[in-house]
Amino acid sequence: MGAVAAGIPATPGGPAPPSPAARRARSRSASTRHRAAGREEKWLPYVLTLPILATAAVLIFVPLGLGIWVSFTDADTLSPDALTGEFTVENYTKLVSDGAFWNSVRVTVVYSVGSVLGSLVLGLLTAVVLNRAFRYRGLVRTLILLPWAVPNVVAVLVWVWMYNPQHGVLNYLLTRLPLVDTAPSWLSSPSYSMLAVIIVTVWKSYPFSTLMFLAGLQGIRHDLYEAAAIDGANGWRQFRDITLPGLRSVASVVVVLVTIWSFGEFTFIFLMTEGGPAGATETLVLNMYQRAFRFFDASYAFAVGMVLLLLAVAITAVYARITRVRW
């Protein structure tokens, strides 16, 4: 670059540079012209977020507010008339002694705990295996993550077909196993339907846990294992003393997210059992839906919805707490 000094004339050729006076005039007018632009940064972010905030206000907060309002009326059908119902707190007092409601609470908890546990265990196992080096690991990882890519409705269809009591491949495979001679009619049996629904939920959701745990495993520093190995820890001790503690925060995020999703789940249960048989899989979401559309008790449905909302807020608070610590 020694050439630079020689190579660039002080006053370059081409168009003559503007005179100093002209230049001053230009930059002065520019500065007054842009006096407001200095404040551009102040209003710009509000303008940019306005569309999304307006959308959220109209499409999320207004409906949520209406829902709260309707839960305090005596409206029965889900129609615009519901908004003009009489004020009453009867829906909430009714909840307390409603066996079906309490059944739904219980079913929701069982369904969520089952889904979370299944997806946690399967996800962790898969992640630990995938974190090892072996041939075709990339291919195996893609295959294992495939369920995530299947649309929910399709997953339901496939599993309903596999659960088919007469022609389903699942019962065929089960009876081929040693020691198993039951061939349950999965979806119509009060004792198996919950398991059937949980299996599908876990099958769809565990790849998410796997990916989260994989990321978590990759975040654990390698030298910790080497130090432990030098200290004489075997594989299992290393897993217990280093891997598990290292995954604690990821695990809590997974637990909270899967809990929230299973709380709000509609498609799997509705399409497989509609909450039946005899309420065996009727979660709060299903209970709310059935009350609104089958039993024409809209205001009561929304009261159930408020319970759901409170639970969701509680879980969200937990989630915010967990992730805030990490941020």
Partner 1 sequence: MTKTLTRTSATATALTPVPAGVHRLARLCRAAGLFLLIVALVLIAIFPIYWMLVTSVQPSTSLFSWPPRLVPSDGVSLGAYTEMLTSSGLLGWVGTSIRVSLATASISVVAASLAAYALSRFSFRGSKATEIGMLATQMFPGILLALPMYLVFLRLGLVDDVNGLTLAYLAFIVPVSATLLKGFFDSIPKDLEEASLIDGTSRMGAFFRVTLPLSAPGLAATFLFAFIVSWNEYLFARILVRSAENWTISLGIASYIGEYVTPWDQIMAGAVLVTLPVAAMFLFLQRYLLQGLTAGAVKG
Partner 2 sequence: MGHAELRDLTRVFGDVVAVDHVDLSMADGEFVVLVGPSGCGKTTTLRMIAGLETVSSGQILIDGSDVTNAPPRARDIAMVFQSYALYPHMTVARNLSYHLRLRRRPKHEINERVQRIAAALDIEALLDRRPAQLSGGQRQRVALGRAIIREPTLFLMDEPLSNLDAKLRVQTRAEIVALQRRLGVTTVYVTHDQTEAMTMGSKIVVMKDGRVQQIDSPARVYSDPANTFVAQFIGSPAMNLVQVELVPDGDPVRLRSPGGWSVDVPEPLAGRLRATAPERALVMGVRPEDLHLASDPDSGGLPFEVVVIENLGHEVLIDGTVGEHGPRAVVRAGTGLLDRLRPGDRIQVRPDWPRVRFFSANDGSAVVLDQHGLRQRDEVTVR
Alpha helices for the chain (secondary structure H): 2-7, 20-33, 40-56, 62-71, 90-96, 99-130, 137-149, 152-163, 169-176, 193-219, 222-230, 235-238, 244-246, 248-264, 267-272, 284-293, 298-326
Q: How far is the CB of 312 from partner 1 (least distance, A)?
A: 4
Residue 249 near partner 1 by CB under 8 A: yes
20-79: contacts with partner 2 (CB under 8 A): 20, 23-24, 27-28, 30-31, 33-35, 37-41
Select the residue interacting with partner 1 from 6, 84, 134, 138 (CB under 8 A).
134
Q: Per rule CB under 8 A, is residue 10 in the interface with partner 1?
A: no
CB 304 within 8 A of CB 284: yes
Q: Of the ranges 14-22, 44-52, 79-87, 233-241, which one interacts with partner 2 (CB under 8 A)?
A: 14-22
Question: In 10 A of CB 277, how many CB atoms?
Answer: 17
Which residues from 39-98 bind partner 1, rule CB under 8 A?
40-42, 44-46, 48-49, 51-53, 55-56, 59-60, 62-64, 66-67, 70, 78-80, 82-83
Rg (CA), the chain: 30
**Under the criterion CB under 8 A, does residue 14 sit at the interface with partner 2?**
yes
In the complex, least distance from residue 53 CB atom to partner 2, rounded to whole angstroms: 25
Binding letters toward partner 1, positions 159-188, x by CB under 8 A: xxxx---xx-x--x----------------
Which of 258, 252, 228, 232 has the alpha carbon at shortest distance from 242? 228
Nearest residue (CB) to partner 2, 11 versus 84: 11
Q: Applying CB under 8 A, does 21 fall inside the site for partner 1? A: no
Q: Is 87 helix (H, G, I), strand (E, B) or coil?
A: strand
Q: Which is nearer to partner 2, 18 or 190 (CB)?
A: 18
From the CB of 82, what's the least distance to partner 2, in Å?
50
Cα(188)–Cα(277) distance, rounded to whole angstroms? 6
Site for partner 1 contains 100 (CB under 8 A): no
Cα gap 75→23, rounded to integer Å? 73
Which does residue 167 bind out of partner 2, partner 1, none, counting CB within 5 to 8 angstroms by kind? partner 1
- For the CB of residue 144, give the shortest distance to partner 1 in the complex, in Å: 5
Q: Which is nearer to partner 1, 97 or 181 (CB)?
A: 181
For residues 289, 57, 317, 206, the Cα torsion angle rounded to the nearest 10 degrees is: 60
Please state the length of the chain: 327
Two tokens at 110?
């069982």
The tokens of 203 are what?
């099958």
Residue 101 partner contact from partner 2, partner 1, none using kind-dependent CB cut-offs of 5 to 8 Å: none
What b/e sequence results for 239-257 when a residue is b if at least 16 CB atoms lie within 10 Å of its CB, and e otherwise? eeebbeebbeebbbbbbbb
Preceding omega of 277 cis (within 30 degrees of 0)? yes
Q: Which residues bind partner 2 (CB under 8 A)?
A: 1-8, 10, 12, 14-15, 17, 20, 23-24, 27-28, 30-31, 33-35, 37-41
